[in-house]
Chain A
Amino acid sequence: MNAVTATHAGDHHDHDHKPKGIGRWLFATNHKDIGTMYLVFSCIMFFIGGAMALAIRAELFQPGMQFFDPGFYNQLVTNHALVMIFGAVMPAFVGLANWMIPLQIGAPDMALPRMNNYSFWILPFAFTLLLGSLFTPSGGPAGGWTMYPPLSLQSGNSFPMMIFAVHLMGASSIMGAINVIVTILNMRAPGMSLLKLPLFCWTWLITAYLLIAVMPVLAGAVTMLLTDHYFGTSFFNPAGGGDPVMFQHIFWFFGHPEVYILILPAFGIVSEIIPTFSRKPMFGYDAMVYATASIAFLSFIVWAHHMFTVGMPLAGQMFFMMSTMLIAVPTGVKVFNWTTTMWKGSLSFEPPMLFALAFLFLFTIGGFSGLMLAIVPADYQYQDTYFVVAHFHYVLVPGAVFAIMAAVYYWLPKWTGTMYDMTLAKWHFWVSTVSVNVLFFPQHFLGLAGMPRRIPDYNVQFTDWNVVSSVGGFVFGFSQLLFVWVIIKAVRGGPPATAKVWDGDMTGLEWSVPSPAPYHSFETPPDMH
């Protein structure tokens, strides 16, 4: 960034000059460039993980083994999860945070730009390691993304590759989280008190604290697996006095907050979009902040609901049942607040609003099945069946992923300076929303009727719903190409977007800068008093 010697023309600011060539990306310190890289990376991972999902749905289309060895099927299941969670959803949220947090709080950039660069560039290495492990002689990790020992300890050479990949992902996430916290706490425009912070920033601030709290726990858990495998320790090996259930406790102490890491920023996005297209400020802003904080707190005391069948004491099961049920209260507050925001509003249905509404309905369905799963005696029947698969895909796909798509459709004109093809985006919405339900709703039935998860083949009684689910899966998968096409078209050009972009009720600072947003956001902070 050679601002001093910049020979700019017209009314453009000199700081708008971007570094040229590959160096702009390799040595990027600009929050927008890094945000873009995160989002592109996430999109690539979404398609790699999606290809694995389609391979899984192809094998499950009919009973009998048609395409894969059962061992390879397990590798697909394991890597689909790891790629989607750590490669697609989390980087997408970090990308959105990079792009939007400085714009929303009136800051010139993220607080720690060099670390921002590291935290992104670690990811391609992490996923090269993880995906490269699929080509080792004994194949990739196949013990499930939860890596439960003793099964995961039976892995071959892919094992240390997966562990190191997880370490790198964790390091990247922690750096990203530190950056978000430092930026939000220190770089807000003067007069922007915490209770004036946009809800997307609030949810990300809380998410960042969750990340810092639990990523080291995951790192510790996988390191113990590593030493159990290669250095003769017995943390989780019963033959040496270890305890395989302890791994599950440690893993889910990470894993449950992780679930909220994947959904809280989505809550933030929806809380930005619904008021805009309802032309009415968010109802119960303070309650939304407190509800988010309550959910984050509760996420630390519900972990064992993932493991009701391991044989816990009665009192433990009771505690985890009750604490899990409690989560319904703050989550309900959020849903009610979104609904009341629409009440007596003036609604219009642009693509971001459509995706936010689909989120509202379908995430709530995922919430209902979550409440059912909290009931321990019933959970004994649901645990590790397709009912659980349906539940978490409802909260992650029409939940988290739809929120990411809503965010892209909401802020894309701000990024590219052009309006995208609304008709095509609406097609993308309708095809995705119908097919995602065809894909995941029948999985509730499969689970209740007795189909366990993570099996490559099944009894013929499960055929019908698997056919339906696979058809939905393929339609959903291929309809995402529309999404990419809409973005590519918008990047290449289109009708120019105004600074405000949408005809709605927006108070956010990101709408006060021109579209596309200047390379450096706010040189002089806006006064928010």
Chain B
Amino acid sequence: MFNRKFVSALGALITSVPALAYESSYNMPVGVTPVSHDVYALHMTMFWVCCAIAAVVFGVMIYSLIKFRKSVGAIPDKTLLHSTKMEAVWTTIPVLILIALAIPAARTLVTIEDTRNAELTVKITGYQWKWQYEYLGKDISFYSTLSTDSNEARQLNSGIDVHTVKDYLLSVDHPLVVPVDTKVRLLLTGNDVIHSWWMPDFGVKKDAIPGFINEAWFKALKVGHYTGQCTELCGRDHGFMPIAVDVLSKEDFERWVADQQAASKAAATADTSQATASTVAAP
């Protein structure tokens, strides 16, 4: 198990081929949105730049540790006290590297902040300890909580082997459902304390803060089931309010919406008739 992981870790370090790194347990997911691809590219660029700087700096350090040891008779050169030229070089080069890194980062950031022209808007509210999803203008609203089997297994000394639980701590009763290839805008707020909605595969993390409405967006390019977690400490069960998103094809999504609306209409009718019945029955 470990061997396979270390080999693939090595593979990814050498190649950084997105496909190889995708199911990794040591690196950021490449994800399924244009933004997550950009973020992954930024992340890997930063990583390699750091590696390059490390190779140079650590190289000089290690060379010094080997070459200038007292035990091999190194004589200190006490005149080496100051060099304006060197200092200018090692101040200027980092500045240039930083500028080169800041440009693509700023470009991606501008894209991330552009929430215009969304085709679907979902309002997300964080509660202790669950999420509520409201599809604006579609009359769909539901809560999403940790699935029952995970919840039973995570109790102190539950005696349940968590390896037998499917998607332990990452599965929910009602996942957020969105269409593929569609710009989905998220409006985030908190009901009690601050939560944070994180979907690693979408490159989206935004705090859900009481009294604030935050905006974020994503456009998933691939149908599938994706998971994430709350990432702002929100009390006792902070570790137990996962996020799950089902990305459906556009047709499937339309069908899902119709089903939901029909179900909620049926529920509303049932409620009304029940209410009528109870009013009638009341006297």
Residues of A whose CB lies within 8 Å of any CB of B are 63-66, 68-71, 74, 77, 142-144, 148, 150-151, 154, 238-239, 242-245, 278-281, 283-287, 309-311, 314, 317-318, 321-322, 325-326, 328-329, 332-333, 335-336, 339-340, 342-348, 357, 360-361, 364-365, 368, 371-372, 375-378, 380-381, 383-385, 445, 448-450, 452-462, 464-465, 505
Q: Can you name 16 extra interface pairs (CB under 8 A) apart from A384-B198, A445-B26, A464-B1?
A: A69-B236, A70-B238, A283-B80, A283-B82, A310-B209, A321-B109, A346-B75, A360-B61, A361-B61, A365-B54, A368-B50, A368-B54, A378-B46, A383-B231, A459-B167, A460-B162
- A-B CB pair tally, cutoff 8 Å: 285
Which segment of B116-124, B173-181, B200-208 sits at the interface? Answer: B200-208
Nearest-neighbour CB distance to chain A for B155, whole angstroms, equals: 7
Interface residues of B in 186-226 (CB under 8 A from A): 192-194, 196, 198, 200, 203-207, 209-212, 214-215
Nearest-neighbour CB distance to chain A for B226, whole angstroms, equals: 11
Instruction: Give the docked Cα–Cα distance between A380 and B204 (Å).
Output: 7
Interface residues of B in 130-189 (CB under 8 A from A): 153-158, 160-163, 167-170
- B92's nearest neighbour on chain A, judged by CB, is A329
Quick one: CB contact mask for B90-109 with A, threshold 8 Å, 1 for yes? 11001100100110011011
A452–B237 touching, CB < 8 Å? no
- Given A314-B110, A464-B1: A284 touches B68 (CB 8 Å cut-off): no
Q: Which of B50, B65, B206, B239 contacts A347 (CB 8 A)?
A: B65
Instruction: Give the docked Cα–Cα distance between A104 and B39 (Å).
Output: 49
B82–A284 touching, CB < 8 Å? yes
B76–A279 touching, CB < 8 Å? yes
- Of the A-B pairs whose beta carbons lie under 8 Å apart in the complex, a sample of 18, sorted by A's number, is A65-B154, A74-B236, A154-B193, A245-B212, A279-B76, A284-B87, A311-B212, A314-B110, A332-B94, A345-B74, A347-B65, A372-B43, A377-B109, A449-B27, A452-B229, A452-B230, A460-B168, A462-B25
Which residues does chain B contribute within 8 Å of A238, judged by CB atoms? 210-212
Question: Quick check: is B233 within 8 A (CB to CB) of the other chain?
Answer: yes
- Given A348-B70, A361-B58: A329 touches B95 (CB 8 Å cut-off): yes
Q: Which of B46, B207, B237 contacts A375 (CB 8 A)?
A: B46
Instruction: Give the docked Cα–Cα distance between A377 and B74 (Å).
Output: 47
Which residues does chain B contribute within 8 Å of A64, judged by CB atoms? 153-154, 158, 160-162
Residues of B whose CB lies within 8 Å of any CB of A are 1-2, 5, 24-29, 35, 38-39, 42-43, 46-47, 50, 53-54, 57-58, 60-61, 64-65, 68-71, 74-78, 80-83, 86-87, 90-91, 94-95, 98, 101-102, 105-106, 108-110, 112-113, 153-158, 160-163, 167-170, 192-194, 196, 198, 200, 203-207, 209-212, 214-215, 228-240
Nearest-neighbour CB distance to chain B for A398, whole angstroms, equals: 14
- Given A151-B233, A345-B64, A448-B28: A377 touches B42 (CB 8 Å cut-off): yes
- B93's nearest neighbour on chain A, judged by CB, is A332
Nearest-neighbour CB distance to chain B for A388, whole angstroms, equals: 10
**Chain A at the B interface: mostly helix, strand, loop or mixed?**
helix
B233–A454 touching, CB < 8 Å? yes
B70–A347 touching, CB < 8 Å? yes
- A279's nearest neighbour on chain B, judged by CB, is B76
- Given A243-B211, A343-B60, A381-B203: A74 touches B94 (CB 8 Å cut-off): no
- A468's nearest neighbour on chain B, judged by CB, is B2
B170–A448 touching, CB < 8 Å? no
B71–A348 touching, CB < 8 Å? yes
- Given A283-B82, A325-B98, A505-B76: A339 touches B61 (CB 8 Å cut-off): yes
Nearest-neighbour CB distance to chain B for A321, whole angstroms, equals: 7
Which residues does chain B contribute within 8 Å of A151, judged by CB atoms? 193-194, 233-235
- B39's nearest neighbour on chain A, judged by CB, is A377
B205–A383 touching, CB < 8 Å? yes
Which residues does chain A contribute within 8 Å of B228, judged by CB atoms? 450
Q: Which of A325, A383, A384, A505 contacts B101 (CB 8 A)?
A: A325
Which residues does chain B contribute within 8 Å of A143, judged by CB atoms? 233, 235
B42–A460 touching, CB < 8 Å? no
- A445's nearest neighbour on chain B, judged by CB, is B26
Nearest-neighbour CB distance to chain B for A428, whole angstroms, equals: 20
B169–A372 touching, CB < 8 Å? no
Which residues does chain B contribute within 8 Å of A378, judged by CB atoms? 39, 42-43, 46, 105
